[in-house]
Amino acid sequence: MIMARSFPLFAVLRPLAATAVILAVWQALVSYYAIPPFILPGPFRVLGTLWASWEIIFDHALITAWEVFLGLILGTLLGGLTALNLATSAVARYFVKPVLVLTQALPVFALAPLLTLWLGYGISSKILMAVLIIYFPVASSFFDGLMQTPKGWLDLAHVMKGTPRQILWRLRVPAAIPSFASGLRLAAVYAPIGAVIGEWVGASQGLGYLMLLANGRAKIDLMFAALFVLALLTLCLHIGVGKLCDRLIRHYQ
């Protein structure tokens, strides 16, 4: 009973303790070696900049969060539909799957300048960049799950004269939900990377743009503050998607 009650508190204190240790080591290194702030500012200086510039950082963070959210939704839908199409069509597996694998041989980051050239400096190129990065993990993991339905389940469904549509939606999709959830958790981590890479190539707003602007003006403390907010955004997204995946798995189980 005592362990059950203290576990949530322990789950919160453990990451806080790890963060405190990292900040302490960071500050100790900066103080001991007298590192100039324009090379590596201390954590207290970064936190002070974060507090003083929270309005501008928050405005840019909203833009990046919106790009990540839309990219995650679109990439998940596109990847899920692709996996369903591949799992139900031998023709699609023959023609589409090799193209899907071939696209991963190309460095997605190298497409960012082209996307900016074609779609401009707005959020469209950043959303598409996020979609391209998370599309393959979702499609690949979901497709693997759909193709690994236990044979005994399929035999039982055929004995009960289930239609292909019924077998797909009542058997194969629920069995593939854990694999789909794994791909979605990876997508939650990759999506911010795509958005920020797009902002680095060409943008007028967003955390990636703010980091480049701060670096060009030698405001390294502001750059670290934006990086801290980006890490916090990614962590919150990962936790939220993880909770959603856990509920989805429990529902289908």
Please check whether residue 225 is in contact with residue 50, taking contact to mean a CB–CB distance below 8 angstroms: yes
Q: Domain count of the chain?
A: 2
What mean pLDDT is predicted for residues 55-71?
A: 96
Residue 152 belongs to a domain: yes
At 106, the pLDDT band (50, 70, 90 cuts) reads: confident
Please check whether residue 100 is in contact with residue 160, taking contact to mean a CB–CB distance below 8 angstroms: no
At 2, the pLDDT band (50, 70, 90 cuts) reads: very low
Residue 106 belongs to a domain: yes
Same domain, 13 and 91: no
d(CA 241, CA 185): 6
d(CA 150, CA 161): 17
Domain coverage including residue 26: 1-34
The residue assigned the tokens 């391209």 is 132
The residue assigned the tokens 């070696």 is 33
Summary mean pLDDT of the chain: 88
Same domain, 61 and 95: yes
Torsion, Cα 191 193 199 200, to 10 degrees, reads -170
Same domain, 180 and 97: yes
Same domain, 76 and 9: no
Same domain, 237 and 144: yes
Same domain, 2 and 111: no
Same domain, 68 and 118: yes
Most confident of 14-23, 139-148, 152-161: 139-148
Same domain, 58 and 92: yes
Same domain, 167 and 193: yes
Please check whether residue 162 is in contact with residue 171, taking contact to mean a CB–CB distance below 8 angstroms: yes
**Please, where are the H alpha helices in 106-160?**
112-119, 123-147, 151-159
Q: Please say if the pLDDT value at position 184 is more than 80.
A: yes
Residue 39 belongs to a domain: no
Interaxial angle between packed helices 173-201 and 54-88, expressed in degrees from 0 to 180 and rounded to the nearest 10:
140
Residue 210 belongs to a domain: yes
Same domain, 107 and 177: yes
d(CA 125, CA 122): 7
Residue 40 belongs to a domain: no
Residue 83 belongs to a domain: yes
Same domain, 245 and 124: yes
Same domain, 103 and 16: no
d(CA 11, CA 140): 32
Q: What stretch of H or E contains 217?
A: none
Residue 115 belongs to a domain: yes
Q: pTM score > 0.75 for this model?
A: yes
d(CA 100, CA 223): 36
CATH number of the CATH domain containing 114: 1.10.3720.10
Distance, CA of 94 to chain centre: 29
The pLDDT of residue 81: 95
Residue 52 belongs to a domain: yes
User: Two tokens at 178?
Assistant: 């854990």
